Amino acid sequence: MKRFLMAVSAVALFTSVGITSAAAQNRTVISQFGRDNGVAAAQQGTRNDVRVEQRGRSHYSRAVQKGRDNFLRMNQGGTRNEATTEQNGNNNLAVTGQEGRNLDAAIYQRGNGNISGVAQIGNGSIATTDQAGRNNTTGVIQVGNNQDASVVQRGSNNISVVIQGGP
């Protein structure tokens, strides 16, 4: 059932975003090592780049980019981690790295020139960043178990950094 739902989600994602021609110069590279991993990636625009690497089992990644010159990277290791990145605009950068179990990271960016990064090591942590505007930067680092971070930025030239650790 899980595979069916993931397949339906991927089809719906591609249908809603639309398929672009090869002239758009978008690039997607997916590497998966382990079992029961899933990725859905869709790009609309030009010169966008998606890189996803998953090691372990039962991971899921979702990547959506609209615009031009956007780059996103997601790396996951361990078990049952989930990563989502959605970028709409131009010249945005998003990086997610997760190592552990039951980790959840989401990055949402709208606008131009935004940068967001999430790094999580441990178990059961959640991180969400949501930026809209221009030239915003946010970074979240969580080490330990059951950490929770949420960052929302609106406007231009905002910077935020969250660092959390614990048992």
- Distances, alpha carbon 15 to alpha carbons 7, 60, 132, in Å: 12, 19, 25
pLDDT per residue over 129-147, tens digit each? Answer: 999 999 999 999 999 999 9
**What value does the mean pLDDT take over residues 81-108?**
98
pLDDT per residue over 27-41, tens digit each? Answer: 999 999 999 999 999
pTM for this entry = 0.86
What are 119's two structure tokens?
A: 């790094």
Phi, psi of 13 (to 5 degrees): -65, -45
Largest separation between any pair of C-alpha atoms in the chain: 49
The pLDDT assigned to 4 comes to 44
**Distance between CA atoms of 155 and 140, rounded to whole angstroms?**
19
Percent of the chain with pLDDT over 70: 86
Query: What is the rounded average pLDDT for all residues in the chain?
Result: 91
In which region does residue 32 sit, left (phi positive, over 0), alpha (psi from -120 to 50) or beta (all else)?
beta
**Distance between CA atoms of 51 and 62, rounded to whole angstroms?**
11
The pLDDT assigned to 24 comes to 77
pLDDT per residue over 46-82, tens digit each? Answer: 999 999 999 999 999 999 999 999 999 999 999 999 9
**What value does the mean pLDDT take over residues 154-158?**
98
